Amino acid sequence: MTIPSHTVQMSMIHAVAVNLDSGSGTACIIYYDDARPASEAIAANPSARLVTLNLPNPCVKTTSENSIELFSSNTGMAVKSGTATWARLFNGAGQAVIDLDIGVEIQLDNPNVVLGSTLKLDAIFLEPE
């Protein structure tokens, strides 16, 4: 597989960050406790949703030569208990942008979510691989 240069990878990440603010709503990230679908084009199982974390608009806080930092998410309340296995990032238009594996692309202190608990992402960085 061909890997783009760092500059091109950062341009791609910047395009993703800009896309997050498109639409009339706000971007969000939703944690799920089931198997990740093969692509973002496949709808997520709504019964596997654990928590929704909304991002402010605009969501980009800072840009550096190696990453883009997003503002912290708002606090979300868990709608069920489970272990977060993957997450989907949606833009402000409600379109799926990217799916992320917990423990790989997203690092959480604890992937176990308890019904009624509150969660928040304090630090969100988009970085090239």
How confident is the model over 104-117, as a mean pLDDT? 93
What percent of the chain shows pLDDT beyond 70?
Answer: 99
| pLDDT score, position 128 | 86
Task: For residue 7, count other CB atoms closer than 10 A to its CB.
Answer: 10
pTM over 0.85: yes
What are the residues whose beta carbons fall under 8 Å from the beta carbon of 112, sequence distance 6 or more?
Answer: 81, 82, 83, 84
Lowest mean pLDDT among 13-17, 47-51, 71-75: 13-17
Surface-to-core class of residue 53, CB atoms within 10 Å of its CB (0-12 exposed, 13-18 middle, 19+ buried): buried
| pLDDT score, position 19 | 94
- The segment with the largest mean pLDDT, out of 57-71, 76-90, 101-115, is 76-90
Reply yes or no on whether the pLDDT at 1 is more than 80: no
- Summarised one tens digit per residue, pLDDT across range 65-88 is 999 999 999 999 999 999 999 999
CB 76 within 8 A of CB 124: no
